[in-house]
Amino acid sequence: MKLLNAATAGTVESGDIQIVAEPLAGSVVEIELRSSVIGLYGTQIRKVIEETVNECGVTGVRIAAIDKGALDCTIRARVKTALLRGGDTRDYAWSAKCGEAKGCM
């Protein structure tokens, strides 16, 4: 999937994470993370974001994340949503696991 436009998912409410995905030239995946728990969970949050972007087959993207204590499942859902909103697909296979269907979902 290719990211065509900037897109946002999530909120800055407690227990959530706001994700802004923006297209970048090239194939780099850039992650900018702000979190009140970055010292404890920053590595894990970055790992979940990166894994999700890779599972969706997206390159050339900048992910800006503002975390407010989101669980891994919430992080994955927000990243996927932002990528799908900004992507070139409308083929949502909601029940498929990543990698089983075109377009991340």
pLDDT in tens, the chain (105 residues): 889 999 999 999 999 999 999 999 999 999 999 999 999 999 999 999 999 999 999 999 999 999 999 999 999 999 999 999 998 777 766 655 555 555 554
Q: Are strands 17-23 and 61-67 parallel, antiparallel or unpaired?
A: antiparallel
pTM of the full predicted structure?
A: 0.86
pLDDT of residue 104: 55
CB 13 within 8 A of CB 22: no
pLDDT of residue 1: 80
Question: Which sequence spans correspond to the domains of the chain?
Answer: 7-86
Q: Is 104 left (phi over 0), alpha (psi -120 to 50) or beta?
A: left
User: Rounded to whole angstroms, how far apart are CA atoms 31 and 103?
Assistant: 21
Amino acid at site 8: T
Q: How many helices (H) and strands (E) does the chain have?
A: 2, 4
CATH of domain 7-86: 3.30.230.10
pLDDT of residue 9: 98
